[in-house]
Amino acid sequence: MPGKQVTYWDAGMPNFGVRVGARSKTFVVLVGEDRQRVTLGRYGDVSLADARKAARVKLVEQQEAGPKPPRREPVNFTTALGLFLDTYSKQNHGPRMAHETKRLLETHFLEKFKADNIDTIEANDIAKVLDGLRGSPSTAEHAFRTVRTFFNFCVKRKYLAASPMADIQPPPKGQERDRVLSDSELAQVWGKAVAIGYPYGTIVRLLILCGQRTGETAALQWNWIDDEGINLPASVTKNKRPSRIPYGPLTREVLATIPRTGALLFPARGSTDKPFQGFGVSKLVLDECGVIGYTHHDLRRTYSTNLARLKVPIHVTEKLLNHSTGVLQGVARIYNRHTYWDEMLEAVTAYETWLQKTIISQ
């Protein structure tokens, strides 16, 4: 409808937003018990950071002039983190994402802030932590998003009036990796994985054989595997879509070496219901093979590249990798219900034959 204005509210700062009309965008803040709208300036004339500061001033002035709100009981960071993990993360994240969220917050923020109350933590304190992660752009980006979600949770729980993340700029994104292992490098990694053995070495061999993601492979359960293929439920896949892929005789041989001690193929040490987690330390041993500058995910990229070398059609490769983007998206994905099982089996057979001849037999 012409002339209609819409206000978009800031998730990290209650009562502050931008009012968008047909010809202008204006920063506004609601003050007082009657939530009176106060204009702070037009977008372009006033920066977002300055508008937020002006909004804080207006809110403080309103609080000082009006009746004092009930005193908010201080909440310790450790307590708030526990509540966040047990409520928000458990309800909104799948098992793999919940585990990664917990790892990021506990590894990078808990030690620094465990003795602090939430309302004493300032933007500069968090920025220093994130600055220390810039050597690993991907980690810095994930940590930023995770801790921002945590502080937004604290605002909604009324532990904070506003999130300290509001004025922190996201860390720069790292360049997309394009590392692909050569045949000789892949042979070195395979040989070292065989020497390391179960569980980590076996996981690495399955990464090379099947091209699936690290977390999906570590989380494998016996009831997901049948005589023809591996079934990944939506709860463990990155794109939340189930995936079924065939496997060949080499993969079958590797699976036959895995002890059946419970539901999981690769339980964490001392656990029966948590998947293997020691990838960081274990890879240091794998790197003794002599190959440098690669990650576990690069094995997946190498798998995809080698399928292309074998002339496997891209849509078949995408089905094997369970990619959520590419040639099978949009209308094509909705109406094309073909499983491509025969095509995937042909590709997997050709790949395992090539792997045996070119990599394993070297």
Q: What are the residues whose beta carbons fall under 8 Å from the beta carbon of 47, sequence distance 6 or more? A: none
Map tokens 């065939």 to a residue.
246
Separation between Cα atoms, residue 137 and residue 171, nearest integer Å: 7
Query: For position 303, what pLDDT does the model report?
Result: 97
Query: For position 109, what pLDDT does the model report?
Result: 94
Instruction: Give the pLDDT band of residue 64 (cuts 50, 70, 90).
Output: low
Instruction: Give the pLDDT band of residue 334 (cuts 50, 70, 90).
Output: very low
Q: Higher confidence at residue 45 or residue 331?
A: 45
Q: Are 282 and 203 in contact (CB under 8 A)?
A: no
- Segment 109-119 shows an average pLDDT of 91
Kind and range of the H or E element at 228?
A: none
The rounded mean pLDDT for the chain is 87
- Segment 160-174 shows an average pLDDT of 83
Separation between Cα atoms, residue 81 and residue 153, nearest integer Å: 10
- Environment class of 338 (CB within 10 Å of its CB; exposed 0-12, middle 13-18, buried 19+): exposed
Q: Which fold has domain 77-167?
A: DNA polymerase; domain 1 (1.10.150)
Map tokens 């047909």 to a residue.
22
Boundaries of every domain in the chain? 6-65, 77-167, 183-360
Selection from 315, 286, 281 nearest residue 298 by Cα: 286
pLDDT by residue (tens digit) across 295-309? 899 999 999 999 999
pLDDT by residue (tens digit) across 184-219? 999 999 999 999 999 999 999 999 999 999 999 999
Map tokens 């061999």 to a residue.
205
- Environment class of 26 (CB within 10 Å of its CB; exposed 0-12, middle 13-18, buried 19+): buried
Query: For position 335, what pLDDT does the model report?
Result: 46
| DSSP conformation letters of 259-299 | ---SSBSSBPTT-SSSB---HHHHHHHHGGGS--S--HHHH
Selection from 209, 286, 323 nearest residue 294 by Cα: 286
Instruction: Give the pLDDT band of residue 36 (cuts 50, 70, 90).
Output: confident
Global pTM exceeds 0.85? no
Instruction: Give the pLDDT band of residue 35 (cuts 50, 70, 90).
Output: confident
3-state secondary structure of 159: coil
Partners of 7 in the beta sheet?
Answer: 19
- Maximum distance among all alpha carbons in the chain? 80
Q: Which fold has domain 183-360?
A: hpI Integrase; Chain A (1.10.443)
